[in-house]
Structure 1
Amino acid sequence: MAKMQAVTITTPITGEVIPLNQVDDPVFSTGMMGLGFGVQPTSGQVLAPVSGTVTMIAATKHALGFTTPDNHLEVLVHLGIDTVALGGAPFTLNVEAGDTVQAGDVVATMDLDAIKASNKQTTVVLAVTNATDKLAHLDVTPGKATAGQTVAKGRLNAATFNAKRQGRLKPVDHYDELATAIVENVGGVENINSLIHCITRLRFYLKDESLANDDVIADLKGVIDVAKAGGQYQVVIGAAVTDVYDAVVKLIGPEYTNDAATAKVVADTNAAAQQPTTFGGKIKHGFSSLIGVITGSMIPVIGLLAASGILKGILALLTTYKLVSATASTYVIINAMSDSVFYFLPIFVGFTAAKKLGADPVIMGIVGGVLTYPSLVSIAASGKTISTFMGMSINASFFGLPVHLASYTYSIFPMIAGAWLASKLEPWLKRVIPTVLRMIFLPLFEVVIVSGVILLFLGPIITVLSTGLANLIVTVYNLSPAISGLLIGGFYQVLVIFGLHWAVIPIVANDIATTGHSYLNAIVSATMVAQGGAVLAIALKSKLANIQELAWPATISAFAGVTEPAMYGINLKYGRAFITASIGAAVGGFLTGLMHVNMWGFTGSLIGFTSFVNPKGMDFSFTGFWIASIATIVVSFTLTWLFGFKDEDAQTVKRAPKKRHLGAA
């Protein structure tokens, strides 16, 4: 009888066996997936940890499930952390679902170097996913172990042991009852738009999330938790997700499924950090969350921004050397190619920010279209002033109310704020608008309210703040060019993040229009060079392919005068790099002001070197530009190399479990 109760499990891979609570993924480390252990592998060959049937293989090859024939234990082997995003590339499988294997059979290989190069962790996790129902305990022996070596021993619990001895142990679990309960509590079939799944979760797209009974679903036997992210209603199941998915599909019909999306879906819901209790901690947490939303919203378009920035640099060179006239149709066409992603940036950011914050992406894309609508852009750019208020020009009216319409092209912060508002507004609208009217009136009210808030309130507030800052900048510059260069250089890119830099642009334009040059623009140019110097250090220092893939084009783009890819894609995302870049910019700005470097054009950064040539004859501004730029690069590059970034910043993303917001496996 003791033998019938015994359970032994071997390590599926050679390496360092670690307790489950040391695995860097809360779904596993907290035991939600069952008892087990982790392995830090030193070899890529994967063996079957138990004898039995291969019952599950993930579409992306990063996870395999086994069921033992005698005890019916369900054993999950998960290859790496968050490796679902790699699409199966680093994995080679030797088995298929339905195959029978013996413990020690080679079932797969994993390319450890490729996984590391993709900025993912190689940790292999083994979990007995039905341990709660089957096992009394499972003891793990940590330390170095060779693949196939027994590292975990346990015993069946009394119920399983007795059922096995009496020959009534069920060969499989049935999920029809669970599927019925889930469908009923997400609001019924009529509330489901579509359904996909990943390795641990059912991912519903619901018509109205407010109809779902979160607490009831979370308490169902077989459900680990409920999470909401990216417009999805996620029911966390665990390794049995494919069985539950099949049962749900059998219940609601295949027309609600999307196999392509299921194959590509990645686990993108990170655990929320533990809420801080101190005031300072709350401020820091709030700012960190804001930066996370900003960078997360920008990442999907960073590649486009980098490409467009490089194209802008090429166009600047073509016009500088008189190869293309600024009035020629060739210039217009190339400029449209390079400028469209910036001009319509509110549309793209509205879409991505909505996905990040859980609002409707299409509706927020339309709001972005409102802000970039040609007629409104024309009013903002016309320079027309009906009256003034707090130093702000009133250039329009709305039902008789004076309004300041600002330009929102190239801007991101108003759309992120709008997406946050929409994420709060949508659930309320869904509750108060009858279902039969929701398809028309929900987008109607949301577009009107969110657009109105941005145009009538948020935009003017940003304009007042930026105008005040611009006046302060001019005052400080008149007192001391060097001190103003230090301050402007250090903080200008911070203003860019929040859209507060727009009032500086008219000052630069007015300076060039009236005097033909701008000392202020020369300082702004140094901040672009600094972002490029910092991201160049990261491009050279990092050994991670995904970091290099973004850092190199971001470097070129920044030196071509477009800093968004460097700032949002790398420097701001990893925090310290943005600080070291800002210190470099402060140095560059200080030297620019100290040497009274002047600028006779709009194009800045290294690509704009000809803007520092005095049309009346070469003077010290050209030399000063190079001195300040080289010093800026040296400082930002060196500080970033030494203190601003290391690959562990990208490799280690700490997670903490929190109810309703689990990190996805």
Structure 2
Amino acid sequence: MAKNEVALYSPASGEVIALSKTSDPIFNQGTMGEGFGVVPNDKIVVAPVSGTVSMIAETKHAIGIITETGLEVLIHMGVDTVGLKGKPFTVTVENGQVVNAGDQIATMDIDFVKAEGLDTTIMTLVTNSNSTLAGLDVTEGPCEAGALVAQAYLKTVAGPDSDKKLSYDDLATFIIKNVGGQENIQSLIHCITRLRFYLKDESKAHDDILKNHRGILDVKHAAGQYQVVIGNEVTNVYDAVVKQLPKLENAPKPESQQQTNGGNPVTRAFGNLIGFITGSMSPVIGVIAASGIIKGLLALLTLPQLGSLLSIKSPTYVTISAMADASFFFLPILVGFAAAKRLGSDPMIAAVIGGFLTYPQIVTWGKAGKLMFSLGGWHFQFLNYSYSIFPMILAAWLAQKCEQWLKKVLPSYLQMIFTPLFTILIVSGITLLITGPVIQGVANGIAVFINWLVSASGWIGGLVIGAFYQLLVIFGLHWGVVPLVAQQIASTGQSSLNAIICASMVSQGAAVLAVAIKSRKADMKELGFAATISAFCGVTEPAIYGINLRYRKVFASGCIGSAFGGLVTGLMHGTMYGFTGGLIGFSSFFNPAHPTQLNSFYTFLIASAVSIVVSFIAVWVWGYNDNMTMGKKVAKKQRPGTTK
């Protein structure tokens, strides 16, 4: 059979009829897609194609299957049978199950359906026909279940170097196929710009095909993950992948991946740590960033220079401030929930532990340093864990280990109640008495030290960090910095490091803006302007992978600009009071506690202006022209001892 053809088999024994001959106008006019009908003479219903079960209707009258080629096939048993509420149907498969053509998937009591005065015809429909099918040939007449009755002809798929933009569903199908197929995927998460796959065998993935397709910015091998860089549309593509492979949504990172990831033990441990932090923090970043913007805007509205448009004692201010503070105050709950999902443990248990750490009375005692008890010369005090990250990440890991152990030692009939009971008591106690104080102390110490180091080093620290920070982004290692910045803001209320990082985002945005304005190529302008907006909003990956790294001098120009921007930030001792970077993060430079202190805001304005001007001029004069040849995307050097 040709590669662009897919065989469809009869879902039941009976009479195959053309779709136009079926009784329901929704089906016979092709509204639901191309296909055929079968008037059954037996109750057995089988899969008309091989693929993954993607949908089972609550009323059991319809089942969806997605094939490896991306066809979305719907098996609809009877006409208007949804009103029977599942009575004549028995489904023998489950969502996410892989089936072969001819496998039994359900039964239908055709006598019951007829007794209700309804049509028993079973419809087989390709619901995404418009985007996938060039045609469909159907052979009418008597048939047996599982007999070949139709031939689908697929549309010619654009080659890997094509500029054709695919729909999210088609792009998801393309990615699944080229990472080695669904059988090669163990689990999947995403961050702000990347799909992060855990593959059984990375050698089965096709890097060049993926990275050269429109809609995919690059491919990376890092932290034990196979990272497909999408950009701003990553959430939509992730949703499309999960729709085709629903079991991936909550699949934990495989233990074997942690153990077999190449490299020496230190490298392997660091990679696993970054991967764990990524999975724990990435779902939380958006709400933290949004909260930071709200806090900054509130501070702006209280400025006397603007007439104090809002009083800090007004109900409006207090209410909106509570909205912004909620994500920070209850950060342990959010991080714990996300970390537990990442580990494949019970997220509700982790959320309860996080809730305990942020319980109002515990927070009050923590702020007062209330003594719990003394043991010899040791004094155990309550600490304030609101706004904290690292203690909860470790608590989520401990909870997973505790759950696993309890499920081994407890009888199954006791697990539902006693597993969460013992886990909450044990892990909460360990966190409160041992791990929490130690980790919180170390984390706060590191946060204070980084703030001091950046401030003390002045222009040197700003210059060095500004010049090289975006190199971390290339390999996804900036995720190791993200929680440090969050911890700085949580413990000290500010982050000098984040102020320098902000300048690096603006610089890369200015560099790609220069390309977009200077270039006469329509596709370069389209991609350049989109990437500029993204970078100015604090996400630089579309700029870096889409254009800047492909023309090395453009990326270097951005680094030069961010070095000067960091230098200015260091000289003026600028700092940030919120999380959001880029130009959109301007409000994070207002001090919520002292709105009239505008040094950091002036620093932001000057550093951003310097970053933009230097990067733009460097690209315009030296970094880019339309006669340059776009280079291949940069691949990470292979680790010793690994094969690819």
TM-score normalized by structure 2? 0.49
Higher relative contact order (CA 8 A, sep 6+): 1
